[in-house]
Chain A
Amino acid sequence: MNGHELNLAIRNCLGVFPGYADELGDLDQALGDGDLGITVSLGAQAALEALEQLPSDAKPTEVVLACAKAFANANPSTMAALVAGALLAGSRVWGDAEKVDSEMVNAFALAAAESISQRGKSQVGDKTILDAMFPAAEALRNTEGAAKRIDAAIAAAERGVMTSKELQSRRGRASWLQDRSIGLQDPGATAYLRFLQSWKLANSPSHATVN
Chain B
Amino acid sequence: MKKIINDPKDFVDEFVDGILLAHPELVKAPTPDRRVLVRADAPVAGKVGIVTGGGSGHLPLFKGYVGRGLCDGVAIGNVFSSPSSAQILEATKAVDGGAGVLYLYGNYGGDVFNFDLSTDMAELEGIRTVTVLGHDDVASQPKERAADRRGVAGIFFAFKAAGAAAERGDSLDQVAAVAEDIINHTATMGVGLSPTILPTTAKPSFQLADDEMEIGIGIHGEPGIHRGSMETADEIAEHLTGRLIDDLGVTSGDRVAVLVNGMGATPLEELYLLFRKTHQMLSSQGITIAKSYVGEYATSLEMAGASISILALTDERLALLESPAESPFFREA
Contact = CB atoms under 8 A, between A and B. Distances in A.
What size tier do the contact residues of chain A reach? 10 to 19
A72 B84 CA distance: 8
Interface stretch (A16-24, A49-57, A73-81): A73-81
Given A76-B114, A119-B113, A81 B120 contact: no
Nearest to B78: A76
Contact of B86 (A72, A78, A89): A72
A73 B124 contact: no
Interface in B32-49: none
B56 interface: no
Given A65-B124, A69-B121, A88-B120, A82 B84 contact: no
Contacts of B85: 72-73, 76, 81, 84
Contact of B110 (A69, A72, A78, A85): A78
Q: Which of A78, A81, A82, A85 has the most CB of B within 10 A?
A: A81
Contacts of A119: 113, 116
A59 B167 CA distance: 41
B90 to A, nearest CB: 11
B82 A76 contact: yes
22 contacts: A65-B124, A69-B86, A69-B121, A72-B84, A72-B85, A72-B117, A73-B84, A76-B82, A76-B83, A76-B84, A76-B85, A76-B114, A78-B109, A81-B113, A81-B114, A81-B116, A82-B113, A84-B85, A84-B117, A85-B116, A88-B121, A88-B124
Q: Which 10 A-B pairs have the closest CB atoms?
A: A76-B84, A81-B113, A88-B120, A73-B86, A81-B117, A72-B85, A85-B117, A78-B113, A81-B114, A84-B117
Interface of B: 82-86, 109-110, 113-114, 116-117, 120-121, 124
